[in-house]
Every structure is written in C-alpha cells, then in structure tokens.
Amino acid sequence: MSAAIPNPAIRETAAGRIGAEPAGLSASRREEAAARPKAVHFGAGNIGRGFIGVTLAKSGYEVVFVARNPEQIRLLREQKEYAVEYASESGERETVGPVDAVPIGSDKELARQIGEAELITTAVGLSALPSIAKALAKALEKRLDKSGGRPLPIIACENGIRASSQLRRLVFRHLPEALHEQAQRQLTFPDAMIDRIVPAQKNRDPLLIRVEPFHEWVVETGGAEPMQRIRGVKYVRDLGPWTERKLFTVNTGHCAAAYFGYLAGFRTVQEALASEPVRAKARAVLEETGALLLARHGFDAAEHDAYVDKTLERFANPALSDKISRIARSPRRKLDRSDRLVRPLLLGHELGLEMPTLQEAIAAALAYRNPLDEESVELERILRREGLDGALSRKLGLPRSHRLVRSVADAYDRLGR
C-alpha cells in the first residue's frame, strides 16, 4: 500500500498542528478506520467535504467518499484525511479523518463499501440524483442479497424538498422487483435539511475546504427512534417547517441577492450585498417570504426577523468570497415549481399574499445569463423558443392570462433586457 504523501500546503494554525504528517499516518488512520462504523458519502465537493464529511467523522464514522475526480480520489486515498478551515477571525482549522474514496464507476469496490456501510449520504446536487441512483441500486442489490437483514439509512443532503424521498423513488426504479419487499424493510430514506455556506474554491491544497462556521443539519424521524444518531444532527418529527424556513429564507434570499447582484454587475455576493439597493431588495424578498412562513407555520415574528438578519449577515461574511455564478447556478432548477422562487410565490398567492419583490427576483432569474452554466444556456433557448409568456406559464403551471404570469412578465419587461 502507498505511504502518505505529506502535503506542504497544510500548515500550523491557531487550532494546532493538522494535516501534514510523516509517513505512517495513513497506516494509523487505516487502523482507526477499521475500528469505526463506515459511512459512504456520494460527492466529495464543497458540502460533501466541508460539512457532511466533517460532521460524520466527528461523530465517529470512517467516511468513504464516492467521487468522480481522479486526482481527488487519489489524494483522499493516500492521505486518509483532509483539512477544513473556518471562515472566521481565528481562521481555525480541523483535520477530518479517517477518510477514503472510491470512484463512482467502480461497481465492485462500491458494492464492497456499501456492503460494509452503516449509513449512506449524498451531496451531489438534486439534478445528479438520477445519475447516482443506478450505481447505488446496483451496489444495494448485492448488499440486500448478503446482509442478513442489516438496516441502512440513506440520507440525501441536497437543497430541495424531500430529496431522500426523491432518491428512494429513483433507487427503487433500478432495483429488481423481487428485492422491493426486502428493500422496504431494510432501507430507510430519512428526509433532511442542511445549511452551511461553502463557496466554490481553489486552494493550493486541493483537499482543503474553507467553510463558514454556521451549520445546521436536521433529519426527519416521523416520530420513530432513528437507527443511529449522528452527533451534531437535530432530529425532528416533521421536517416540513424546517425545510421551508431554510429554502424560502436562506436559498430564496441568497439567489435573489445573486440575481439582483448579477443585473447590477457584481461578481460576488459579498460585493452585491455591500450595495444598498441590492441589500434592500434581498431583504424585501425575505420580508415577503417571512410573511408566508409565519402564516404557514406560526413562527414567532421576532425570532424569524432575527433569523433573517443572521441569514443576511452570513451571506455578507467578509471572510468568504462567494461567486454569484455559484449561487445563481442552475437557474432552471431554481425556477422549478417545487423550488425556492416559484413555490413560495404560488403558496403566497393561495393565501392572498402580495409578493412583488419575489416576482422581481423571478424576473431577474429569467434574465440571468452565463454561457458556462448549461441551465442558463438552456433557459435562454427556452425563452427564445416559447417566448416569455409561454416559458413563465409553464414554470408557474398557470395560464398565460393568469395575474401572476402577467405581473412577473411585467417585472421582466421592466428590466429592459
């Protein structure tokens, strides 16, 4: 087996020595890993390494990443750990380990890892769930054959409503019917909400990940005792209010700031929020979704205001640089009827709430152009093909003549794009 390669890019920090270790470290990490329960996590990206990996490792798991990037896989396999740096004044760092990695295409290895796992998690993006479901189902098939009834929770940590339930449907589609009954007994798919801002980044140490200190991971139990408790996770009976509070505040506010910031010519959300007009619009959107959340879930108004203040503060964190292109990414997904922009608008409409600034944010999302973002290019194509009214009517699931379609179209026209 290969020795650990010391990584000079990882240095002494306020939190103490981390990372760079003499050869032998990976051997001790391997022993440590053998003594730990195993969690297999799909996606070694920003949130995978910057939140899920670190939380699971702290909770006592060996974390095996299922990844695509060969260089990242090589480094994770060799080093068996990586560093997380917190974007705060102290710049504290922590070492995350023991970890390992397998390529998504390696059926045999993946099946072996999943056969040994006590927990599966994902953070690949909602739109990538169909692409991992097949590989996951294949590996689960082998496990179900041999596991002697061992239960396995599978938690999709994605921004979206009930992502684990979505993954469940996709996985069952790929599992042979003969295994469905057993899979229903052994596999659970608890829905979850996760919150931590982890910008896209390039560091000299390619595994290092810089994150905001704030974090929240909530898992739904439906009233049942969870099979295993992950330290740092909050377990709740009903996830509904938690998801809506996060998605319609953090994610609606974030993308509103990004789309308004894009129109104003800014590059990062920090720059955008330093501009008073953009900040005022982002806040106005959150006042509108706040009224919806209070009406739907009976949240305390003062507590929700404090949540909004804290959220805007997190977006503007000067210790981070978060590009608008990340926050605005995949505008088709963000404009989906079940997502952060259109869903609160439709729910608010049902309750008779006026949401003019949210409508402006939707118009700004339609006007977002990024030739490097496939969904932005596709959205432009749809707008050309179907026209604004047609595209909006489809997105909102309402007739072209509907008041909401008309007023979002008017907001778009006012942008003069």
Ligand X SMILES: O=P(O)(O)OC[C@@H](O)[C@@H](O)[C@H](O)[C@H](O)CO
Ligand Y SMILES: NC(=O)c1ccc[n+]([C@@H]2O[C@H](COP(=O)([O-])OP(=O)(O)OC[C@H]3O[C@@H](n4cnc5c(N)ncnc54)[C@H](O)[C@@H]3O)[C@@H](O)[C@H]2O)c1
The verdict on whether residue 41 carries a ligand-binding annotation is: yes
Q: Select from 12-20, 118-126, 168-176, 291-299 the region that touches ligand Y (CB under 6 A).
A: 118-126
How far from 334 is each of 20, 205, 229, 296, 365, CA to CA, in Å?
Answer: 40, 32, 31, 21, 8
Strands ordered across the beta sheet of 62-67? 99-103, 62-67, 38-42, 117-122, 152-156, 187-188
Pick one of 196, 245, 314, 340: the residue that binds ligand Y (CB under 6 A): 196
Pick one of 53, 115, 125, 331: the residue that binds ligand Y (CB under 6 A): 125
- With CB cut-offs between 5 and 8 Å by kind, which of ligand Y, ligand X, none does residue 68 bind? ligand Y
Task: Pull the structure tokens for residue 409.
Answer: 């179209």
Q: How far is the CB of 346 from ligand Y (least distance, A)?
A: 21
Interaction of residue 66 with ligand Y, rule CB under 6 A? yes
- Strand 99-103 to strand 62-67: parallel, antiparallel, or no bridges (unpaired)? parallel
Interaction of residue 194 with ligand Y, rule CB under 6 A? yes
Task: Pull the structure tokens for residue 167.
Answer: 């993954």
| Footprint on residues 249-268 left by ligand X (CB under 6 A) | 250-251, 254-255
The verdict on whether residue 18 carries a ligand-binding annotation is: no
How far from 374 is each of 30, 105, 378, CA to CA, in Å?
Answer: 40, 24, 6
d(CA 261, CA 257): 6
The number of residues in the chain equals 417
Q: How far is the CB of 174 from ligand Y (least distance, A)?
A: 14
Interaction of residue 293 with ligand Y, rule CB under 6 A? no
| Footprint on residues 187-226 left by ligand X (CB under 6 A) | 195-197
| Footprint on residues 308-337 left by ligand X (CB under 6 A) | 327, 329-330
Q: Which C-beta is closer to ligand Y: that of 51 or that of 260?
A: 51
Looking up tokens 């377990």 gives: 235
Interaction of residue 365 with ligand X, rule CB under 6 A? no
- Strand 216-220 to strand 192-195: parallel, antiparallel, or no bridges (unpaired)? antiparallel
3-state SS, 159-214, equals CCCCHHHHHHHHHHHHCCHHHHHHHHHHEECCCEEEECCCCCCCCCCCCCEEECCC
- Strand 209-211 to strand 187-188: parallel, antiparallel, or no bridges (unpaired)? unpaired
Q: Select from 119-127, 229-237, 379-387, 397-405 the region that touches ligand Y (CB under 6 A).
A: 119-127
Pick one of 43, 97, 290, 344: the residue that binds ligand Y (CB under 6 A): 43
Interaction of residue 128 with ligand Y, rule CB under 6 A? yes
CA 404, 405, 410: angle at the middle one, nearest 5? Answer: 95
Q: Which C-beta is closer to ligand Y: that of 250 or that of 398?
A: 250
Residues within the interface to ligand Y (CB under 6 A): 42-48, 66-69, 104, 123-126, 128, 131-132, 158-159, 194, 196-198
User: Which residues fall in the annotated binding site for NAD(+)?
Assistant: 39-50
Residues within the interface to ligand X (CB under 6 A): 159, 195-197, 250-251, 254-255, 327, 329-330
